[in-house]
Structure 1
């Protein structure tokens, strides 16, 4: 059947701002590749760029964004720039965001995300590790993600960011943030989400509570294993598009923001070319996890960062 193409849409956040539902992800992009990818994306029509302190490419992102603004008629307020605070910075978010803004050469970011739900020890580098290679964290009983979030929200009033949110979080933790009286609700949560890890409960909970969900690793991370899944391939053949187009269009059809990462110009251009999927195909893809469930991002912590605060599991 002929594919009906979709344009990038703006989703309304719970604080009144809007977020484009397709972004360029920049994880694992080297400085030169990152600069070229961001420039290609912005020239192609992307208006949402996602980076992080831990990616070590904020300088390249900022250089590309500022070069693009100087060379085009696009205004800063028409772009949506996201960066993230690393867990070792959680106890001092003001200095963390000021350093990020300096690297980005921006006056503010549109979204500032906590990169995990557990704090790391300070003063030992970006990802402090013990003698066995495990990331060194602070017990949630001493300093929790709620404590970190409480500090983060002060950055909005100071004009350093317009919105805040949190990554790698689950429903009980989101609910705790929503129920804590002195906290503003997160505008966005960003998690690994794809047909092998659809996180249906989280997506539906966030919709019901007016929190936008962003899906990273939408193709299943390195090597894009989803592109060879028989259901994805079959649906792609039905519409005459690529498997990547189907996977990304599925994410958008669910009402999530999708964050495809690429440093290849043609793929960057392809990743913003989405289609409308029939509801039956959205449902079909959403049930792939019953045959195959897989989380691709597994950080080496002694605490299970994806589950409860108190879940200190022995290393495996």
Structure 2
């Protein structure tokens, strides 16, 4: 039975259910990938930082060779690590080589931060002399995104997206992006606002969105015809940064929520 799929802005379909390979032991990858394929999985979520792209690639190559599945039937995602923001094309090609693929269905920026380069594909997290993550301030997220866009025109990647971005960085990305990032909201065929409102409703809270635009009135009310999966509810919850937008301390000088 075919799995439900969501159409990305690029026109490609992403199966709504996928298998993540994070913390998957390298020795177990082959068996798990093949078992997942036999069970009907067609979407696999990888990352350079998971350090098992090569094992996933071997498992997929064997699946193709034995006729278990065809490449065009799969949706393969992997991610650019922080230390490779200044080497996007090289990092993508390195992941493709390890995965033994000619193209990626989706390539994500893993985290919205560029750190000291430690060698393509090595996924290092170098610390500065102060023991804090060594951030490369010469590379902007906009520069990284435009390099990601180049991957699409080169035919190395079909769709690009972002991961672990907060709402403010996401808005910034939408402002400078020529190719808009694939998003969780896109997965459900809804706007980011609708996804956030639905998240609130599924937490059994009352949501009271404010708008002065008539079209938004209708959009904000159209949140009763879909459900966010338990897995995606947890992903959204994990974005919590204990940040309060209405902070009286800023204008009264007294922190009521301390």
Partner of 2:65: 70
Give CA deviations for 1:124-151 in whole Å, capped at 9, x if unaligned. 7522223565322123xx3222221111
| Partner in structure 2 of residue 104 of structure 1 | 99
- C-alpha distance 39-31 of structure 1, shift in aligned 2 (>3 A): same
**Where in structure 2 are the equivalents of 1:1-316 lying within 5 Å?**
8-72=3-67, 74-123=69-118, 126-130=124-128, 133-139=131-137, 142-180=138-176, 183-188=178-183, 207-208=190-191, 254=227, 295=238
Contact 1:22 1:258 in 2 (8 A): no
Work out which structure has the larger RCO, using CA pairs closer than 8 Å and 6 or more positions apart in sequence.
1
Could you tell me the TM-score, scaled by structure 2's length? 0.70
- The Cα offsets for residues 19-54 of structure 1, whole Å up to 9 and x where unpaired, read as 001111111112112222111111111000111111
SS in 2 for 1:137: coil
Q: How many residues align?
A: 211
Root-mean-square deviation over aligned CA pairs: 3.6
Offset at 1:97? 0.7
Kindly state the Cα deviation for residue 174 of structure 1 after the two structures are TM-superposed.
1.4
SS of 2:190's partner is: helix
Taking a change above 3 Å as real, the CA distance of residues 157 and 258 of structure 1, as seen in their structure-2 partners, is: farther
The CA deviation at 1:188 is 3.2
Q: What is the CA distance between 1:255 and its match in structure 2?
A: 5.1
Task: Please say if residues 23 and 257 of structure 1, whose CA atoms lie closer than 8 Å, have aligned partners that are also in contact.
Answer: no
TM-score (norm 1): 0.58
Q: Is the 8 A contact 1:164 1:188 kept in 2?
A: no
CA separation of 1:175/1:37 partners in 2, compared to 1, >3 Å: closer, same or farther?
A: same
Residues 175-213 of structure 1 deviation map (CA, whole Å, 9 limit, x = unaligned) = 112222x52100235xxxxxxxxxxxx799983269999
* Number of the residue aligned with 2:254: none
Mind listing any 5+ residue stretches in structure 2 that lack a counterpart? 197-203, 205-225, 245-258
Structure 1 unpaired stretches of 5+ = 1-5, 190-201, 214-230, 232-252, 260-285, 299-303, 308-316
Quick check: 1:14–1:211 contact (8 Å CA) kept in 2?
no
Change (3 A) 1:43 1:132: farther
Residues 33 and 133 (structure 1 numbering): CA distance in 2 closer, same or farther, change over 3 Å?
A: farther
Instruction: Work out whether residues 177 and 183 of structure 1, in 8 Å CA contact, stay in contact via their aligned partners in 2.
Output: no
Equivalent position SS for 2:143: helix
